[in-house]
Every structure is written in structure tokens, then in C-alpha cells.
Structure 1
Amino acid sequence: MSKIKTTLETLKKRLDSNNLLEVQQEDGYIEKVEMIFNPPATEDDLQKLPFSVPKDYEEFLRLHHGGLIFNSPEGGGGLKLLTVDEILEYRAIPGYEDYPANWFPVAYGYDGCYLIITDKKVGRGYLFWMETGNDFEDDMFLGMNFEDFLENIIMAQGSKFWEWGFRIPPTFNF
């Protein structure tokens, strides 16, 4: 079984009857968040894409044509996984014509930020995180593919794991 399919099936087993998942977030805050997955994309949907998507992302679309993960029913937020039509719609918004030609938003959330797929690969990675209002030179290369991103955001319970610093141990002089 593929990593995407295993990740999603395992997550779905943890959801309650209302598709809610109890998570512990920063500062010890506990809440129930929605995990909503759309039905699969059709071949017609996939044919609309103006670029060749990576195989792991295509597999996600074939399982779920977008969705909404880690959304607070009371406060919103979370990460909206875009459908093909939404990808094309976001790409066509005035002002976004400045995107590099090979950049496509595939998720939106966390106060107006975008998860970007590009054909620019470094190792297995091809994802960028684009903060609202930043120019392209300040965007963060995540160094991972979509299946790793999905697995990591689920393990991090919806937190922006890519912003976590690494703890640097103190220097000891004995």
C-alpha cells in the first residue's frame, strides 16, 4: 500500500463519527478539529491541469479531490487542500500572474499562506511554503514531496512543523 493511502486510512480510523479529531496544539491547548476529504478527482479533472503533477500528488487527487484538514469548527483556520478548479482559480487571481510559470498553489490556509507545487526539484522535494505578502525569493523550500508533507502535518497535529527550530544543545566545559 502506498504511503499516502496508508497515512490517510490511518488518520480516518482516528476520527470520531463527526469526522473530528482531538489534537493537542501549542501551549497545551486541546481541541477537536474537522478533517474533511472530498471524493476522488475524475480523469476530466486531472486533464485540466496545465502541468504534469508529481505522482504522489496525483495519487492524492485520485483518492481525494481536495478537502479541509485541521479546521476548528468554532474558529476556522486549518489547511484547505484545493481541487483542480480551485488551483486554476487561485492561479488566475489578479496579482498572481507574477507567480513563476511552474508554480501552482495546491493548498491554502494559516492566515492566507499557500502550499506551492513546482517542477523545480531538489532531491525528492518540490514543495514551497509561500507566506502572504512575501515575494518569491523569501518563500521557504520545504525539501519534501507531498506524501511526506501530508504525513508530517498529520503527525504534527496541524502545526506548522516546517517552522519548528531545532534545539541546539548547550556547550559544556568540564
Structure 2
Amino acid sequence: MNQIAVVLDRLKQKISHGSTFIQRSYNSIGHATFHLPKPVRSETLDAFEAEFKQPLPSEYQTFLELHDGAKLFMLGDEGLVLYPLEEVIEKTIEAKEDGLIDEDYDHYWIIGEVNEGYLLIHTNHAKTEDTPYMYWKYHEGSTEDTDAIGQNFGTFLERSIIAQGDMYWEFNIFDVREDDYYVEDETEHEQAGVPIASEERVRIEIEYPIYRRGGFIVSFYTYENGKAQLRSESNGFDNFKQIHRYLVGTLDEPGYYYSEIVVFQKEAPLWESEDASGEQIARRVEHPQTQIMQYDGYQAFVNDLPRPLPGWEKA
């Protein structure tokens, strides 16, 4: 696994465990939201290179091949925003037309935003892997006045995550001999009392069919005051592949960060089959099988999906 994938995987584990309460500069505090979309399409990469006659820096392209943009550590509308590549193309073209990218300083792509400013890639510096190419500028003005961040994309991403979406490259600007540090008493993004997630715990029950051609039933239970409450129930699953797809998609709904996922499987106490004449017969299962698997969050669940009970492996 490459380093950018490792960094993002650790972030997803953190989110999955409910660690979304953050504090940034000037007392900006609250429960952050995150969005990591699907990978970039290959035709969009081709369109970018055709438009700008230059390939993307390898680290930045590696990120896009994992997620086409991102919104990280968002408090309201503020946080670290990395545009989808199609938006990078559009905003860079518009910026050149509007003079935001100065004609004498037109060696930039606009790839995102953070703290009232744009994130830029210096296209000349990006031609070599050992030259820092990440820059930042305020929304106002043009690229005649930019600040060098001093890193390439991979290091920028990792340090931005460590800094919870804050402008870490400005941390050393404050000088006690010259500046008066302050924090605001109140901020518009303060979110006192908001829970970490809509659901912190979930119990999933998989009920096996009485006969092999029957369908599985999957039930979701969430907890209120420590008691399990039925949230939803679905049936008609013919095999475990369908169940896995359903569970992965349901648990990955935006806004839900589970700290504990318990999967309980139970075999039916009766077993129906056909006799020689084709008549349905039923017999009691002496020892119905059960299985309990517990996971510390969504990523742990995805890494080790629940296995079917013995004898049902092909189901």
C-alpha cells in the first residue's frame, strides 16, 4: 500500500471510531464532517493532460486515483476542500480568464480551498518530484502574490490531516515579541452538544432460511438508552454476496460513524426438504448454529466481512 493510501486509511479508521470532534485556530471547534468520493475516471485524467499539456504530479494523481477530491474536517463551510479533477480544470480555466491567475504568473492549477484561500500547484515546480510545488493564496488578488507551503502533495496531505484541516505552514509565523495571540470568544461553527454520530453502535442479525431456496432476513438494531431498537429489516437475499453488498453500502451512509458493529447469525430451528414423492417435509435441527462477530468500526468490518455458517459457505 502506498503512503497516501496509508494516510487516508488511518483517517478513515479515526472517523470510523467516532473521532470527529476537532479544535482549530481561533477557537474554531465542533464535530467535523468528511467526504471522500469515488476514484477519478481515467478519461478525466486524459482530459486534464490534453488541456494543460502536462501530466499531474505523481503524488497528487495517486490521491485522485483513490478519491476524486475530498472535503475533510469541515465545520460548516470551512475546512480542507480538494476539488474533483473536472472542477480543477474548470476553475483553472476560469481563473485565467478572470485574471485570478495573472498572465505573468500563470504557472498554477487551482486544486482546492482552505481558510479563505485557494490551494495551488506550481506547474513548473511540479515537473520534477524533488521540488516543492504546493502554494496558497487568498481568494482576493491574483497569483502575483502567493505563499509557498514548501511541500509536495503527499506531505501536504499528511500534515493537513495531523493539523485537522488547519493551515499548518503558518503555525510558526506567530512571534511573542511582536504579536498578541488571541482566541475569539464565540465562533459561528461552535457545535456544543452535538453527538459524535447519528449512531455509535449497531447490531446486525442475519436470520437463515428454513429451506435452502429461501431468502435470508437481515435486521438492523440501534441503541437508545442502552436498549436495542429495531431500525430496519430487509429480506429476499439469496446469497451472502448480496448480504455483503447490502451491509457495506448501508453502513457506509454519510453521517454514520459506528464505534461498534456486532453481527449475530442464527440458523433456523427447522429444516424443510422434499421426500421421494416431492412432498415437503420438515424436521427439527438438533443444534442450530449461531455466530457472533464484533468489530471496532466500519473499516474493521470491511476488512473482515462476516463469514457464512459452516455448511452455508456457497450461500
| TM-score, normalising length: structure 1 | 0.83
One of 85, 99, 103 as aligned partner of 1:95 = 99
Are 2:101 and 2:142, in contact at CA under 8 Å, matched by a contact in 1? no
Query: Which residue type is aligned with residue 4 of structure 2?
Result: I
> 1:160 & 1:42 partners in 2: Cα distance?
29
* Aligned match of 1:162: 169
Write out aligned runs for 1:132-143 (5 A).
Answer: 132-143=139-150
Structure possessing the higher radius of gyration over alpha carbons: 2
Q: 1:65 is matched with which residue?
A: 68
Corresponding residue for 2:86? 85
Q: Indicate which of 152, 155, 158 corresponds to 2:159.
A: 152
Counterpart-to-counterpart distance in 2, 1:166 and 1:80? 23
1:120 aligned to 2:127? no
- Note if contact 1:20-1:33 (Cα within 8 Å) is conserved in structure 2: no
What is the TM-score of this pair, normalised by structure 2? 0.48
> 5+ unaligned residues in a row in structure 1: which ranges?
none
* Contact 2:39–2:64 (CA under 8 A) maintained in structure 1: yes
Q: For structure 2, which runs of at least 5 residues remain unmatched after alignment?
A: 178-315
Could you tell me which residue of structure 2 aligns to residue 54 of structure 1? 57
Q: Give aligned pairs, total.
A: 166
- Structure 1: how far apart are the matches of 2:124 and 2:70? 25
Q: What percentage of residue pairs aligned between the two structures are identical? A: 27
Structure 1 residue runs of 4 or more that deviate by more than 4 Å after TM superposition = 166-170
Q: For residues 3-43 of structure 1, give each alpha carbon's deviation from its aligned partner in whole angstroms, at most 9, with x where no partner exists.
A: 211110000001148x8722122356541111111100011
Query: Greater helix share, 1 or 2?
Result: 1
Is the CA contact 2:71–2:81 (under 8 Å) kept in the aligned structure 1? yes
| 1:40 alignment counterpart | 39
C-alpha distance in 2 between matches for 1:147 and 1:115? 14
1:119 positional shift: 2.6
